[in-house]
Every structure is written in C-alpha cells, then in structure tokens.
C-alpha cells in the first residue's frame, strides 16, 4: 500500500506543479507550438519515470534501435495494464501522441497535458466522430508526430491478446508511415494482479522492426491488424522463452 500512497502523492504534486505550467505552456504555444509539445513530452516522460520508480518497476528495453528516428511512426502495442502507457511513453524515442478513450478527456489536469501532446480522444460509440479523430491523427503524422495506439481497444485480462481493430491502422495506411510493433510483458504485475496494491515487477518492452505496408502482400494489407497482432504475439513468445 505504501507504494500506492507514494504514487498518489506524486500525482498530487504534479497537479500543483501544473498550475504555473499552464501559463508557461500557453505563452510557449503562442510562440512555438512544437516547443510546447516538446516541453509537455519531457514533463510527461519524467513524471512517468518517477511513478515507475516509486512502483519499484525494473525495465528492460529491447530493440529501441529499430525505431526510425527521422520520420513519424505508428507505435502499436498489446494492452494488459493501466501502467502500459506509463511504461511505453517513458521509453518512446520520438515526439509522440497517443490515442485514448473519449472519457479521459473529462479528467481535469490530465486532459490539458494530453492536449499539449496532441493526443487523440477516440469516441468508439460515434462512428463519424471516430473518423474525424483518425483523420486528425493522419494529419499529425504527416506533420512529423508519431502516434501510439493499443488496438485491442481495452485491457486484456487473459494471457492471449484480443483481436486488433483494423480501423486503427488507417493512421499508417493513409500517412504512409511505418508501423512499429511493441511487445510489453509483466506490466499487469505492477498493479492488476494484486489490485489495489502496487508491487515490484520486472517488465520488458521490446520494439520490433518497422512494418511498411507498401512491402506487404495485398492479403497482408487487407488484414493488417491480424498481421501486426501475429508479429507482436511472436515477440511476446520470444521474450517469454528468453526469461
């Protein structure tokens, strides 16, 4: 329980720290929107690292050299824990937004920082609004901002992954950007396995080789969600065998 208390304290301090930062970010955004994004990413990344420190999380990062550094990419990962985005976003090497549920946009403080990071709030109940969000993401990727998405749509409590939503991959298809598969293991052992307690865990984040849709067969392109899911499943199996 003590780890959870420390994490709550970190979040409260972050909320207090955010008050003067709103004004600073507002001014920076008027002068240089890209710098506003960079500052927000530094703040988010370091806050997440502090949270993981107090959670007692040990990280093994593999394959980071596979990520193209001079172009936007679509990061695609499996989803097992509330800590997935905390872990992944503390490691991504590029300017990156992420896709979140529309409901998160209602959370004060958090939504403001997510807007600084050009995050996409996806309404899965409204097809028209969902399409607008995807189109917004495509334009962001064309402007050089990577996007992180977990296309299962919700946390999977089983050992296997849920099916990937094919619509998520329109971001890569229409922007002509690479898909970078990410496999994350043991993240649920930080919290979900013994909720409401936070425990020490050794997690692994593995970045796979980029997938370019132009290099795939017509059948693979048609079922790109299935193809990418299979790639991540293979990566998870490889991590499991190496432990």
pLDDT in tens, 185-229: 999 999 988 888 899 999 999 999 999 998 999 999 999 999 999
- Return the pLDDT at 134: 87
**In what order do the strands lie in the sheet containing 201-207?**
57-62, 201-207, 178-185, 73-77, 146-149, 96-101, 120-122
- Return the pLDDT at 156: 63
For the cut 70, the answer to whether the pLDDT of residue 158 exceeds it is: no
pLDDT in tens, 76-85: 999 989 999 9
For the cut 70, the answer to whether the pLDDT of residue 159 exceeds it is: no
- Return the pLDDT at 189: 93
- The end-to-end CA distance of the chain, in Å, is 28
- Return the pLDDT at 157: 62
pLDDT in tens, 103-136: 888 888 899 999 999 999 987 777 787 788 888 9
- Return the pLDDT at 123: 79
> Rounded mean pLDDT of 165-173?
87
- Return the pLDDT at 102: 84
Pairwise pLDDT comparison (155 vs 75), residue with the higher score: 75
| Domain locations along the chain | 57-242
pLDDT in tens, 35-63: 999 999 999 999 999 999 999 999 999 99
- Return the pLDDT at 54: 95
3-state SS of the chain: helix, strand, coil percent to 5?
55, 15, 30
Pairwise pLDDT comparison (34 vs 124), residue with the higher score: 34
Cα–Cα distance for residue pair 242/229, rounded to 1 Å: 20
Q: What percentage of the chain carries pLDDT values higher than 90?
A: 68
Superfamily of domain 57-242: Glycerol-3-phosphate (1)-acyltransferase (3.40.1130.10)
- Return the pLDDT at 217: 92
Q: How far is CA 81 from the centre of its chain?
A: 12
Q: What percentage of the chain carries pLDDT values higher than 70?
A: 97
8: helix, strand or coil: helix
Cα–Cα distance for residue pair 222/226, rounded to 1 Å: 9
- Return the pLDDT at 155: 62
Whole-number average pLDDT of the chain: 91
- Return the pLDDT at 130: 79
The length of the chain, given as a count of residues: 243
> Rounded mean pLDDT of 66-71?
90
Which of 77-81, 159-163, 173-177, 224-228 comes out lowest in average pLDDT?
Answer: 159-163
């Amino acid at each position: 329980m003590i780890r959870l208390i420390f994490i709550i304290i970190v979040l409260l301090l972050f909320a207090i720290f955010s008050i003067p930062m709103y004004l600073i970010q507002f001014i920076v955004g008027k002068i240089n929107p890209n710098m506003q994004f960079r500052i927000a990413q530094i703040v988010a990344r370091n806050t997440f690292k502090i949270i993981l420190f107090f959670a007692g999380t040990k990280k093994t990062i593999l394959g980071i050299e596979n990520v193209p550094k001079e172009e936007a990419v679509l990061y695609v990962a499996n989803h097992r824990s509330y800590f997935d985005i905390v872990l992944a976003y503390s490691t991504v090497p590029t300017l990156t937004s992420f896709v979140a549920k529309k409901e998160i946009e209602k959370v004060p403080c958090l939504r403001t920082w997510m807007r600084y990071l050009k995050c996409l709030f996806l309404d899965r109940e409204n097809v028209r609004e969902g399409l607008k969000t995807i189109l917004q993401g495509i334009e962001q990727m064309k402007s050089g901002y990577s996007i992180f998405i977990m296309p299962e749509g919700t946390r999977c409590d089983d050992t296997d992954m849920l099916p990937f939503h094919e619509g998520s991959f329109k971001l890569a298809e229409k922007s002509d950007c690479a898909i970078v598969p990410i496999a994350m293991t043991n993240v649920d052992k930080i919290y979900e396995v013994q909720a409401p307690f936070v425990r020490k865990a050794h997690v692994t984040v593995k970045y796979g080789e980029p997938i370019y849709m132009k290099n795939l067969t017509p059948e693979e392109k048609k079922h790109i969600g299935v193809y990418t899911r299979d790639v991540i499943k293979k990566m998870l199996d490889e991590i499991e065998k190496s432990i």
